[in-house]
Chain A
Amino acid sequence: MKALPFSLVLLATLGCNAECEYCFESKSDHHLTLDQLSTVIQKTMDHMALNHFETLSIYWQGGEVMMMPPEWFEQAHGIIQEIAASRNRHVKNYIQSNMISYSRKWNRVLADMFGNSVGSSMDFPNLHRKIKGGSPKAYERIWSRNVREAKDAGIEVGVISIPNEQTLDMDAERFYAYFVNELGITDFQINTPFPGGSQNDVKTGFPLETHRLSRFMVDLADVWLAQGFQRGVRVGPFDQLLDYFVHGRQNLLCIWRDNCVNEFVCVDPRGHVAQCDCWVTGYPEYRFGNILDAGSLSDLLRNSDARRRLQARPGELILKEDCLDCIYLTICHGGCPVRAYTVHGDLFRKDPYCRLYRRLFQHMEAMAANLPLRRNEYPDSI
């Protein structure tokens, strides 16, 4: 059996209670029924058996995943456990929610199914996340209240944050203090924005200007090392990169794997299969097929032209771009295909944030080089 899990990004619904301006998904009322879920899991387990995977990691997303009632998840959990037990497989569930619909009635399923942990997202300052018909301030108020309530109930909340123009004008220390000191978030990650899905004024400003973004990220890494590292605060991608440069462990973001096609697939509530949530909802021509219609997931993946194009991407980049001359090729491989496609309109271009990544890698490598002198001061996890 393979030690690594098979990963499935599962969009339970395409409905959403928010109108975030940089969202790349096409929203709709589609949601997954329990019968459809059963089919998806059965076919996924068939694929796992054929390929000797023992563990399935399901990353539940939307739309907004908490638009589905918690009772649905309780039933879903039972169905999944039953199928897994009959197939002698293990399942781990993770959830990514905007927390706008969170209430204490979610606590039981979050504990039973998701290990009392939820991933969410918030920016600072929040300019672009809005509830339907509401303002960013209203969104922030509801989100902060719900996150505090969840934390009070013992639920761990991790946060993804997308920098914007005003973030880049800000002192990195202020940014760090907002999440860690004011909100009590000890696990957050910075993601870069890209113009996926339908276009609008906000997305025309993406990608963000690399020089300013690099400076912000490098400053934030320094703040984290000075204030959070020893206290066990995790800030991605800095903690993963430091772990790589100190210990060689390549537990890196999906954008920096040798090919994300080898790592996971995404299924939306209509059964469409694609590489990730951006592809599956925003770019029908890049769908691999439909798991509800297909005889098997293995055949669907094997016969997909779109998947073959994605598989070929890093090899093509070696020939067309300067990736082979980069000393960080082993932790980047040309970066994220969806970022390249949405910025350049060409899958076979390297990630538009290449210069940011190189700057960050250099900085974290230098940081790691200075760590051994004080190794006994640092947590074992790094």
Chain B
Amino acid sequence: MIASIVYNIPATMIEAFRGRDIIVRSIDPAEILQRLGQDDLKRLAYLQILGTGGDIDSLMRWEHPIPVDLVIQHPESDLPLLYRYAPLIAERSVRVSVRVAAGFSNVVKLALSLNFAVKLEVSQPEPAAIEELLQVVNLYLHQSTVSQPIEFIHSIFWSFYNRTPVSLWTIQEEDPARVRYITDSGEETLSRRLAGAALKYGVASFIKEFTEELIGEKQECGDCAFFENCAGYFKWPRRDYRCDGVKVLFQTLRAAAGELRADIASFSTPGQESRP
């Protein structure tokens, strides 16, 4: 069975995409709820709320358990406002998406403490951001009060644990075989990150051709141990971005996954001990 493509659309385009699987976004949750019809709910993956400025009263009263993705636009000023969204968790899963930029880890800490899942929107992190990412990795791996996934860290970790590669493009919902992003002006592209970019290849074949080109260049990606998971994700938009910091991050996750695998293997189930 081939999963259909999910379209991330502005709320104004609900009618145009009726009958297709959708993610609906707006800065105003009330706008989304007003425009959604009963039949749309069956094909609605989640609501994406852009920022904390909208009126959430109607969303608080909305009885459909559709997940919500809250996109944090301004980490510093939006931080205390996360508490406003805490009641939503009683009826639906809530994810906070935050760009990896100075101070983002505070948003991650608070989001996790409110039992929100987290998605890190990462592009080409500079050394300071890598340091902050490593702190978040440490939080994810070792803090007992963390009970929600932090993507992309979570899926990469489990990919290492299960020894089953998962592409970062897929984890980050930028795989064109699964998700397409429709800009406010109606242009179809891969994601918000790539909106407005002049893609050299068509949307559908972008990742395939981009990764083949990176391999062909025989540069950093050519012999990278993490290419199966990364697939050149960090080489866009600048090809000359050095992945040293990112590799430390991946190495940390790979080592932790290996430790966990070894720990679990060292325990034997009572009654199933091997006999001498």
Contacts and interface: CB of A to CB of B under 8 A. Distances in A.
22 contacts: A2-B63, A3-B90, A3-B91, A52-B63, A248-B147, A258-B86, A258-B113, A259-B86, A262-B87, A302-B57, A312-B80, A315-B80, A315-B82, A316-B80, A318-B79, A324-B110, A328-B145, A329-B109, A329-B145, A330-B113, A330-B115, A330-B145
B61 A50 contact: yes
Interface in A274-307: 302
A2 B82 contact: no
Interface of B: 57, 60-61, 63, 79-84, 86-87, 90-91, 106, 109-110, 112-115, 143-145, 147
B113 A4 contact: no
A2 B90 contact: yes
Contact of B109 (A311, A324, A333): A324
Contacts of B115: 250, 330
A330 B112 contact: yes
A245 interface: yes
A319 B110 CA distance: 11
A4 B92 CA distance: 12
Name the 5 nearest CB pairs between A and B, nearest first.
A315-B80, A330-B113, A329-B113, A52-B63, A315-B83
A4 B90 contact: yes
A333 B147 CA distance: 16
A312 B63 CA distance: 25
A318 B106 CA distance: 10
Given A1-B63, A311-B84, 6 more contacts: A50-B61, A318-B79, A324-B110, A327-B144, A329-B113, A330-B145
Nearest to A376: B270
A51 interface: yes
A331 interface: yes
A69 B81 CA distance: 46
Interface residues of A, number: 30
A314 B120 CA distance: 24
B83 A324 contact: no
A293 to B, nearest CB: 23
B86 A262 contact: yes
A259 B83 contact: yes
Interface of A: 1-4, 50-52, 245, 248, 250, 258-259, 262, 302, 311-312, 314-316, 318-319, 324, 327-331, 333, 365, 369
Contact of B80 (A52, A245, A318, A369): A318
Contact of B91 (A2, A248, A329, A333): A2
Nearest to B62: A52
Q: Is the interface of B mostly helix, strand, loop or mixed?
A: helix
Contact of B106 (A259, A314, A316, A324): A324
Contact of B81 (A315, A327, A331, A365): A315
A319 B79 contact: yes
Contact of A365 (B57, B109, B144): B144
Contacts of A302: 57
Contact of B144 (A1, A245, A258): A245
Nearest to B91: A2
Interface centre among B57, B83, B106 (most CB of A within 10 A): B83
Contacts of B79: 315, 318-319
Nearest to B145: A330
B110 A318 contact: yes
Residue with the highest number of chain B CB atoms closer than 10 Å, among A4, A250, A330, A333: A330
Contacts of A319: 79-80
Max chain B C-beta neighbours (<10 A), residue from A302, A314, A319: A314
A319 to B, nearest CB: 6
Nearest to B270: A376
Nearest to A333: B113
Contacts of A316: 80
A32 B84 CA distance: 33
A156 B79 CA distance: 44
Contacts of A327: 143-145
B83 A258 contact: yes
Nearest to A1: B63
Nearest to B115: A330
Looking at A327, A328, A333, the one whose CB has the most chain B CB atoms below 10 A away is A327
A331 B145 contact: yes
B116 to A, nearest CB: 11
A250 B144 CA distance: 14
Nearest to B87: A262
A299 B61 CA distance: 14
Nearest to A332: B113
Contacts of B83: 258-259, 311, 314-315
A341 to B, nearest CB: 18
Nearest to B57: A302
Contacts of A2: 63, 90-91
B53 to A, nearest CB: 15
B148 to A, nearest CB: 10
A366 B205 CA distance: 52
Contacts of A329: 109-110, 113, 145
A331 B114 CA distance: 9
